[in-house]
Amino acid sequence: MRMMDKVAIVTGAGSGIGRATARRFAAEGARVMCADREREAAQATAKMIAEAGGEAVELGVDVTDERGCALMVQTTLDRFGRLTTLVNSAGVSGTRRDATPPPEEWTRVLDVNLSGTYLASRAALEALAASGHGSITNLASIYGLVGGSLSPAYAASKGGVVNLTRTMALTWAPKIRVNCVCPGVIETPMTKPFMADPAWLQPMRERHPLGRFGQPEDIAAAILYLASDEAGFVTGVALPVDGGYTAA
């Protein structure tokens, strides 16, 4: 049990990587707040955790809403008494084929992926620091490290998350560790529409030297490490979990 005594908020917990992370945390002994803009999806994750013998609560939260983020933290404290861990997995993809997204699309992607990460982290700051073992793990992307996506908004948002992570790690040390993971292509509802395009699928798979796309559980395992006490001397890192994509 690598997360005993931990209380975690996972945003975007209603799907994909967030759901896998919430479930893995609970299986490792954490009590988990499953937060998602889609309340019913968050509730389904909390139910899965309860059915597996874990402890979870859910809340419908839009991470672009400052008051929603404050409520998410307060609800967690009311229910579980403390907060040790935040995972910012709420995110949206840009429109892949649009190299010149209109301003509304640019703003939407930046708002959720970058500003949402900041707002949730800011709301949790005090409680995480008070816990004595605070950590934040953000979801960046390979497209926060290298170019290549046709969505400039997505790449800009994830590049922002990488450097926001480093800066929060410096400014919030020593009380809170802050890291991010940079996944390659992971099979989740986010990437499902892209998978239907054979012109994208084969070349993209070949860019992953391990010969496959990732599963949400591959990313949850890395997040578990960064959020656990085993990573007690690790802060400010951007960890690729990408089957070798960025090694090329």
Ligand X SMILES: NC(=O)c1ccc[n+]([C@@H]2O[C@H](COP(=O)([O-])OP(=O)(O)OC[C@H]3O[C@@H](n4cnc5c(N)ncnc54)[C@H](O)[C@@H]3O)[C@@H](O)[C@H]2O)c1
User: For binding to ligand X (CB under 6 A), which residues are involved?
Assistant: 11-12, 14-18, 36-38, 41, 61-64, 89-92, 112-113, 116, 139, 141, 183, 185-186, 188-191
Q: Are 175 and 128 in contact (CB under 8 A)?
A: yes
Tokens 């994208």, located at residue: 200
Q: How far apart are CA 245 and CA 135, in angstroms?
A: 27
Structure-token match 């990488």, residue found: 162
Pair 127, 178: CB distance under 8 Å: no
Q: Which residue has the tokens 């994830």?
A: 158
Considering beta carbons, is residue 84 or 89 the nearer one to ligand X? 89
Q: Which is nearer to ligand X, 54 or 214 (CB)?
A: 214
Q: How far is the CB of 23 from ligand X (least distance, A)?
A: 13
Nearest to 72 by CA among 57, 52, 55: 57
H or E element at residue 85: strand 85-88
Token pair 């922002």 in the structure block, residue: 160
Picking from 63, 64, 85, the residue whose alpha carbon sits closest to that of residue 9 is 85
Residue 89 beta carbon to ligand X: minimum distance, rounded to whole angstroms: 5
Q: How far is the CB of 83 from ligand X (least distance, A)?
A: 17
CB of 174 to ligand X, least distance (A): 27
Is 154 catalytic? The answer is: yes
Which residues lie below 8 Å from residue 192, measured CB to CB, with a gap of 6+? none
Closest Cα partner for 92 from 120, 111, 73, 76? 111
Least distance from ligand X to the Cβ atom of residue 97, Å: 16
**Residue of 118, 154, 225, 245 marked catalytic:** 154
What phi and psi, each to the nearest 5 degrees, are found at residue 199? -70, -20
Active site residues: 154
